[in-house]
Structure 1
Amino acid sequence: MYSPSGPAARRARRAPRSVVSWTRPRAARSSSRSMADMLPPHPLLPSAHSSWRYPATVPDVDELQRRFRSLAETAAPRAPLYSLLSSAIAEDREVVELLTAAPATQQAPVLLLAATHHLVLSGVAPDLAVHYPNLNGGDASASDPWPAFRQLCSDHADDIRALVATRHTQTNEVGRCATFLPVFAALARETGRPIAHVDVGTSAGLTLLWDRYGYRYQPGPSLAADSDVVLPCGVRGDAPLPDALAPRVAGVGLDLHPIDVTDTQATRWLEACVWPDQIDRFHRLEAALSVARRSPPTIVQGDAVDDVAALVRDAAQLGHAVVTTSWALNYLTAERQAEFVAVLDAVGRDVDVSWVAAESPEQTPGLALPHPPGTEHLTVLTLRTWRAGSVSTTALATAHPHGYWLHWLSQPT
């Protein structure tokens, strides 16, 4: 797995001496998406919300071929390139076998596709790059991408094996900030304190930079529309959309394998994990990384359960401590998920804390968070608060896993 290096990574490996150093930077200009893709209900590809954890038993090549065929079918509506490639890979055992270099639990088709995307982004396969919508301006190529893809797998087989053996699929979806924003504003109003943000499973820390982005709610207000990153979000229900960004005093991320935004190789892998058919997500990630490089976020390298308490206690000294998790806790076992909640409960007995979770109930059973019937497979936005030692938990909304829509519940549960 990626081990950060360089000055930003050295900051990440040690906890900051004081959270006063959790700086709050500022903004800039724009990037967006058509409203047609924002409104619920929206069919979701498995990759949009799956942690891709497989059983620890080593799969045979026949099983891997089945997984590629399954991806080819589910990806077809919104990711035609990956659908076509997955279908062809499934019939080529030599290419499928490249994935066996990955740990058994990580042998997902999307990992092999991310590895090849990484090589394409590095410039070693110009004949294949012309078929990638994120690299060719979205122009559909009339020719078949498979011969160029097969050649890449032949010429760079060792590179692909090394990538799948040492990397894991990782995302840092800034669009989720649009779903957090109404909750941040409500918490700042309620407590009368600025937000001191602790983002768990932060990856490159891009979600920490929510006050540097712009937002366009539909219907609803537009905020900081002159930012370099403007996040569109379709809204249903009576969401408490803010008229202005909540005040923010501090921010720190926590991740077991943080990504250094100044490390080109590391950020290239993050970009490679975005499906090339999702052009807007790819370019939005590029823009967010550019924003982050101007003043990199503070990230502590550590464990979500073992190391979160100290960060939350420090945050509470500066403002209202708000913990966020977004498609992060699904990577923990159910037992560790329960331990995460227990840690926050313990901290909440001493200081006021809020936890905003955007997680899938199906994949986070250990959290035991409330959710409306029929939302098990969705992203459920949940708020858990600790006030003077008293605990309250409310399911507020369902959301697109990338933040393209927010469906506020008429009766939060």
Structure 2
Amino acid sequence: MDVAASYTRFAREEARSKSPTYERLALEVVGSAVARELLESLPPAKRQPNLLFASIRYLGGDVSRGDHVDVLLRRDFERIRQCMLQRSTQTNEPGRCATLLPYLAPFEEPIALIEVGAAGGLCIYPDQFEYDYGGVRVISRDPRDIPRPRFPCAVSDRHLGPHRAPDVAFRAGVDLHPVDLSDESHVRWLTALVWPEHAERAARLRLAIDTVAALGPQVVQGDLIDTLPDLVHRAAPHGRVVVFHSAVLCYLPATRRAEFQALVRSLPVTWISNEAPGVVAGLDAPSPPDKPSFLVAVDGRTVAYADPHGAWLEPIA
């Protein structure tokens, strides 16, 4: 997909109704010679809208003032370009735990949780957060009296809301470029990836970082396909192994996605995927909602549509 088509799709299908600022900037990129020069100087995998806009904000650009994208880029063109080359889109959105929890809570036995594309490891701690499923509240299993984020998630079926957090006996993640939650520059990058209108998301992210950083999350640096079998072997003695990922496979070439799917199906694990429709091959996607959504699947069977940031969950009958 070329730059114009990619940014038009982002504006119309992802940013619309969620971020007027990013919708405007994405459409400005389409007609901007300055933006095209920047993006065409980068490898295709580094041309993503979220990566561009987060880099501008990370380096101090104020996207809320209404400046045209050309103005924002001319102020810091080379540093923005270098930031995009060095960084990656690692939206470590802990709110996605709210759409993961209903498929973890039913397990009676302890679970060993492995996240592929874990970034800073926030989502391997679903038992450390609190949740509100519209009247059904779930609290952390951790008895420490500390501030914790509470993630609201609207569910169309009240029976879907879990009543307890899972018993996580082992947890680990894998990422090509792990995020160090003790490094303020890494934390600023995670914050820059939160869309500008989403102040509550940013506040919950900060609380989640404070909660998890003190626990020393284990995120292994490595390729997801090369590293996963060893992690599964290490996790197996601790309980039911659950491998999950959210908004990760979309960044892999189709051949690597196919390799990953073949690998995870061959391993003795429960596999939970949370990706945009069309990313995981072979999933049914009946009657998708008329809004940006992910498909949640368990062991290759579609079970729900979900908000990309965890704000709602709609089961598929």
TM-score normalised per structure 1:
0.67
Give 1:167 deviation, angstroms. Answer: 2.4
* Range with bigger deviation, 371-380 or 198-207: 371-380
Give 1:404 deviation, angstroms. Answer: 0.8
Match status 1:197 vs 2:113? yes
Residue 309 of structure 1 aligns with an amino acid whose one-letter code is P
Closer, same or farther: CA 72–311 of 1 in aligned 2, 3 Å: closer
Q: For structure 2, list consecutive stretches of 5 or more residues without a partner in the other structure.
A: none
Q: Where does residue 395 of structure 1 map in the other structure? A: 302
Which of 107, 125, 128 is the matching residue for 1:209? Answer: 125
Separation (CA, whole Å) in 1 of partners of 2:6 and 2:273: 30
1:13-412 superposed matches below 5 A: 54=1, 64=4, 68=7, 71=10, 75-120=15-60, 128=62, 132=64, 145-146=66-67, 152-187=72-107, 189=108, 193-224=109-140, 227-237=147-157, 239-348=159-268, 353-365=269-281, 368-369=282-283, 371-375=284-288, 378-384=293-299, 394-409=301-316, 411=317
Tell whether the 8 Å contact from 2:257 to 2:280 is kept in structure 1 after alignment.
Answer: yes
Residue 66 of structure 2 aligns with an amino acid whose one-letter code is P
Closer, same or farther: CA 290–79 of 1 in aligned 2, 3 Å: same
Tell whether the 8 Å contact from 1:360 to 1:379 is kept in structure 2 after alignment.
Answer: yes
* 2:220 partner SS: strand
Q: Which has the higher contact order (CA 8 A, sep 6+)?
A: 1
Over residues 333-386 of structure 1, what are the superposed CA-to-partner deviations in whole Å (9 max), with x where a residue is unaligned? 3333333233234332xxxx3112212341222xx34x24244984222222xx
Considering only CA atoms, is the larger Rg found in Structure 1 or Structure 2?
A: 1
Residue 310 of structure 1 aligns with an amino acid whose one-letter code is D
Tell whether the 8 Å contact from 2:147 to 2:207 is kept in structure 1 after alignment.
Answer: no
Separation (CA, whole Å) in 1 of partners of 2:16 and 2:286: 29
* 2:18 partner SS: coil
Closer, same or farther: CA 314–262 of 1 in aligned 2, 3 Å: same
* 2:133 partner SS: strand
Closer, same or farther: CA 112–335 of 1 in aligned 2, 3 Å: closer
Over residues 48-96 of structure 1, what are the superposed CA-to-partner deviations in whole Å (9 max), with x where a residue is unaligned? xxxxxx4xxxx6xxx54x6556655553533222334445555542344
Residue 107 of structure 1 aligns with an amino acid whose one-letter code is R
Separation (CA, whole Å) in 2 of partners of 1:280 and 1:306: 37
Tell whether the 8 Å contact from 2:138 to 2:164 is kept in structure 1 after alignment.
Answer: no
Q: For structure 1, list consecutive stretches of 5 or more residues without a partner in the other structure.
A: 1-53, 133-143, 385-392
Q: Where does residue 42 of structure 1 map in the other structure? A: none
Tell whether the 8 Å contact from 2:136 to 2:162 is kept in structure 1 after alignment.
Answer: no
Q: Where does residue 32 of structure 1 map in the other structure? A: none
Separation (CA, whole Å) in 1 of partners of 2:74 and 2:149: 38
Tell whether the 8 Å contact from 1:181 to 1:242 is kept in structure 2 after alignment.
Answer: yes
Aligned pair count? 310
Aligned residues with identical type, % of pairs: 32
